[in-house]
Amino acid sequence: MSCFSCPLPIENRLIMKKIFAQLSILLLVAIISFAQSEKKEEVQGIKSPSIKDLKTTPKAMNFLIMGDWGRHGEPHQRKVAEQMSNATVGLSATFNLIVGDNFYPSGVASEFDPSWKSSFEDVYNQHPLYDDWYVALGNHDYKANPDAEVAYSKISARWHMPSHYYSVTKKLKDGTTAQFFIIDTSPFQIDYYNSEDYGSHLQGVDTAAQKRWLEDGLQKSTATWKFVVGHHPLFSAGGRKGKTGDMLYSFGPLFEKYHVDAYFCGHEHILEYDQPAGYHFVQIISGAGGEATPVTSADYAKFVVQDYGFVAATVTAKSLLLQYINDRGEVIYTSEVKK
């Protein structure tokens, strides 16, 4: 006759206690492992989903190029930011080149302007994007106080704009060097001087001094790769096609004379890759960080598209790999420049 209320024999109770203890240990181990995994993902920023078909190269230097972006967190700006985070993780990218028009519609009034929060800090808040941002000025930044963007460098650890134009040198482990010359292109747009939006902020700007600085820097540079970063393009297959003469006249001969390898720019809200005949440098337009506008075509434009996105760059001693990525995380174009 069975007895449900009778105590278990001592041997059975010991067995049950042993099983319970083992289960408790296993559960504790699982909880600790999960917590450590979560912490590791949080610290390393590896929760981001991968970008399909993103090419990686061992021992390379990786960075992103993005521009024309500051739209107070509009949906496509946020989508681009999310994919930038994913690409940063996928490539182990270490910095960003920002090619201007950082705050729409009219720049910022000071380093404490609310737009810093609504267009920058609250949008690019993914952990992987807390790397270095090397920033150029665009024309919309000249509608208010461009010096405020210089001043913000003293507040933000990631925002770098020590002056309106400056250079940065990066070194790979194998000794390969890349020097980036970030220039201020709005003062070279002749029609801006008669503009109500820009004219007052351009008075007294010494364009000759900037060109002397650039020429001197390019001439003395011993870097393996020489890159220039600015806002306005020298060529365009976007809406400003045929209207980039000021830039081509001001900088085309310099880029050729001192063997600039690539010019990174924006202004046109498109993604474009240019190999102009008669010039040895390539031009990369990455101005689709927050808006995408119509495109045309041109012989020099090997790729041009109306889409939101950015460009990922991978540099080694012998090559510059460029991957154009849209806000849906698709690699839509790839090109490589060989040394």
Triad 295, 226, 275: Cα angle to 5°: 30
Q: Quick one: pLDDT at residue 41? A: 45
Query: Is-contact 96 133, C-beta < 8 A?
Result: yes
Query: What is the C-alpha to C-alpha distance for residues 251 and 272, in angstroms, rounded to an integer?
Result: 19
Distance of CA 100 to the CA centre of its chain: 11
Question: How many CA atoms lie within 13 Å of 307's alpha carbon, on the beta-carbon side?
Answer: 18
Give the single-character DSSP code of 130.
-
Report the b/e string of 201-237 with b at 16+ CB within 10 A: bbeebeeeebbebbeebbeebebbbbbbbbbbbbbbb
Q: In this structure, which amino acid lies at residue 154?
A: K
Whether the CA torsion 291, 52, 312, 94 is positive or negative: it is positive
Q: Quick one: pLDDT at residue 42? A: 42
**For residue 313, what is the enclosing H or E element?**
strand 309-315
Q: Give me the residues paired with residue 274 across strands.
A: 283, 301
Q: Quick one: pLDDT at residue 15? A: 60
Question: How many CA atoms lie within 13 Å of 254's alpha carbon, on the beta-carbon side?
Answer: 22
Query: What is the C-alpha to C-alpha distance for residues 331 and 36, in angstroms, rounded to an integer?
Result: 33
Q: Quick one: pLDDT at residue 31? A: 52
Q: Give domain limits for the chain.
A: 9-42, 57-338
Written as tens digits, the pLDDT of the chain (339 aa) is 445 455 556 665 556 566 655 665 655 545 555 544 444 444 444 445 689 999 999 999 999 999 999 999 999 999 999 999 999 999 999 999 999 999 999 999 999 999 999 999 999 999 999 999 999 999 999 999 999 999 999 999 999 999 999 999 999 989 999 999 999 999 999 999 999 999 889 988 999 999 999 999 999 999 999 999 999 999 999 999 999 999 999 999 999 999 999 999 999 999 999 999 999 999 999 999 999 999 999 999 999 999 999 999 999 999 999 999 999 999 999 999 999
Query: What is the C-alpha to C-alpha distance for residues 318 and 230, in angstroms, rounded to an integer?
Result: 24
Predicted structure pTM score: 0.86
Query: Is-contact 174 318, C-beta < 8 A?
Result: no
Query: Is-contact 308 292, C-beta < 8 A?
Result: yes
Q: In this structure, which amino acid lies at residue 239?
A: G
Q: Quick one: pLDDT at residue 97? A: 98
Q: Would you list the DSSP string of 228-288?
A: EE-SS-SS-SSTTTT--HHHHHHHHHHHHHTT--EEEE-SSSSEEEE--TT-SSEEEEE--
What is the chain's Cα-based Rg? 26
57-338 topology per CATH = Purple Acid Phosphatase; chain A, domain 2 (3.60.21)
